[in-house]
Amino acid sequence: MDQSKEQRILNSVSYNAVKGDPESVINCIDKYCSQYEWAMNVGDEKGTILDKVVEEADPSVALELGTYCGYSAIRIARLLKPNTRLLTIEFNPEFASIAKEIIEIAGLSEKVTILEGHSEDIIPQLKKKYEVETLDFVFLDHWKERYAPDTILLEECGLLRKGSILLADNIIYPGAPEFIKYIRSNKRFECTSYPSHLEYMKVEDAMEKAVKDPGAAAMLF
Ligand SMILES: Cn1ncc2cc([C@H](O)c3cccc(CNC(=O)c4cc(-c5ccc(F)cc5)cc(O)c4O)c3)ccc21
Ligand SMILES: [Mg+2]
């Protein structure tokens, strides 16, 4: 049977990347998806925004919704300090398996845990089953219509604290209008838009950062 695009991306990484070098895995995926087959990785332009927000958050526990091939998991995990971790939720078993191998090639398997399932099923398990107290950083990049309900679910499960930072991909293209409406009208969040471009394309896109109760966090220090 023909290989999937995601399997071809893994083949390219396995053949071309330097084992244990996250930067070389990132560059290999970006090169492959720019030159051969477009794929929905966050990409290097929006990836640089992701890097800056992760460095600002300096998370002990980070969550990603939508692992896909593991590209953004590697971008996040490569910036994490020792004894800190990234949990990433993926419902598609083929994506999860490919991401696991690509994250292994990057040498980041110790820092990244792929949780297989739907976000709405896994999020309520994070505290008890995955020993999460609160989340310092959340990257939303799964189904766009799940951004708002899953943000509400994270709140309901008591997983967000004062100063928790959310970052959402694809605010313009494909777009996440319900999320934008919800988060920008919610007084508990301070929102910032970061204009950019769709991965590997000249199409406009943007990322949205939302910090929970920033003032309160600031007052603590
Ligand atoms: C519930 N749950 N829990 C875990 C979980 C995990 C997944 C999968 O990882 C998954 C599968 C398919 C689609 C997505 C969302 N991503 C996108 O749809 C997207 C599209 C484009 C784009 C842009 C231009 C085009 F022409 C076509 C697609 C550019 C982008 O950056 C994207 O992120 C995510 C899904 C639901 C999940
Ligand atoms: Mg995306």
User: pLDDT tens across 112-123, in order?
Assistant: 999 999 999 999
**Strand, coil or helix: 87:** strand
CA distance 95 to 72: 13
Q: Which tokens in the block code for residue 32?
A: 């492959």
Under the banding of pLDDT at 50, 70 and 90, the label for residue 1 is confident
Question: 207 CA to middle of ligand 2, Å?
Answer: 9
Cβ atoms of residues 158 and 134 within 8 Å: yes
CA distance 200 to 5: 16
Q: Determine whether the shortest distance from the Cβ of 30 to ligand 1 is under 6 A.
A: no
Please give the angle made by the CA atoms of 141, 39 and 154, to the nearest 5 degrees: 10
Predicted pLDDT at 194? 98
ipTM over 0.90: yes
What are 40-77's pLDDT values in tens digits?
A: 999 999 999 999 999 999 999 999 999 999 999 999 99
Predicted pLDDT at 217? 57
Predicted pLDDT at 215? 86
Q: What are the residue numbers of the active site? A: 141, 144, 169-170, 199
Q: In what order do the strands lie in the sheet with 204-212?
A: 112-116, 85-90, 61-65, 135-140, 160-168, 204-212, 189-197
Q: Determine whether the shortest distance from the Cβ of 170 to ligand 1 is under 6 A.
A: yes
Q: Determine whether the shortest distance from the Cβ of 182 to ligand 1 is under 6 A.
A: no
Mean pLDDT over the full length of the chain: 97
Cβ atoms of residues 110 and 22 within 8 Å: no
Q: Work out which ligand 1 atom sits closest to the CA atom of 146.
A: 1
What are 132-180's pLDDT values in tens digits?
A: 999 999 999 999 999 999 999 999 999 999 999 999 999 999 999 999 9
